Structure 1
Amino acid sequence: MNLSQQEWASQLEADNNAVILDVRTDDEWNDGIIPGAILNDIYKGQGFIYKLEELDKSKNYYVYCKAGGRSAQACSIMKQMGFENTYNLEGGFMNWEGKVAQP
């Protein structure tokens, strides 16, 4: 499900079953992250899938990338793998106005 920046942030804040998933590259990750995010680079192909398989499917996943394209793709893959609740950050990290942390 695609959520606007505001919807994504407010829903995340109220969700105590949330996991924030960053699907960008290591270099992008090093530019700053949404606090609490875990990294799983979608460009790693099968490695990306292996890391997804280790995650708890009962959690709610808030997924982002730089602009929203890769994270939409990640949400689609996750749905196929049985993840019920995935939320894509529309506009991605480059439009993020919330807190930013250094990894």
Structure 2
Amino acid sequence: MDLSQHDWLDQLSNDPNAVILDVRTDDEWNEGIIPGAVNIDIYKGQGFIYEVDQLDKNKNYYVYCKAGGRSAQACAIMNQLGFANTYNLVGGFMQWQGETAMP
């Protein structure tokens, strides 16, 4: 499900079962992250699918990338793998107005 920056953050902050997933490359990750995020690079292809499939499917995943395209793709893959709740950050990290941190 695509969520606006505001709705994504609002829902995330009220979700005790949330996991923030960053699907960007290592280089992008090293430029700054949304605090608490875990990183699995979608460009790993089959490696991405393998790593994501190991995650707890009962959690709610708040997924972001640089602009929103890769994270939308990641959500689609995760839904096919049996994840019920994935939320794509529209506009991605480039438009993120919330808190950031260095990894």
TM-score range, shorter chain: over 0.9
Looking at structure 2, the residues matched to 24 and 66 of structure 1 have their Cα atoms a distance apart, in angstroms, of 7
Q: Percent identity?
A: 74
Aligned-residue CA RMSD (Å): 0.3
The number of aligned residues is 103
Where in structure 2 are the equivalents of 1:13-92 lying within 5 Å?
A: 13-92=13-92
Q: CA offset at residue 54 of structure 1?
A: 1.0
- Name the amino acid aligned to 1:67: A
| Structure 1 residue runs of 4 or more that deviate by more than 4 Å after TM superposition | none
Structure 1: give runs of 5+ residues left out of the alignment: none
Query: What do the CA deviations read for 1:28-86 (whole angstroms, capped 9, x no partner)?
Result: 00000000000000000011011111100000000000000000000000000000000
TM-score by length of 1: 0.99
TM-score by length of 2: 0.99
Looking at structure 1, the residues matched to 95 and 17 of structure 2 have their Cα atoms a distance apart, in angstroms, of 24
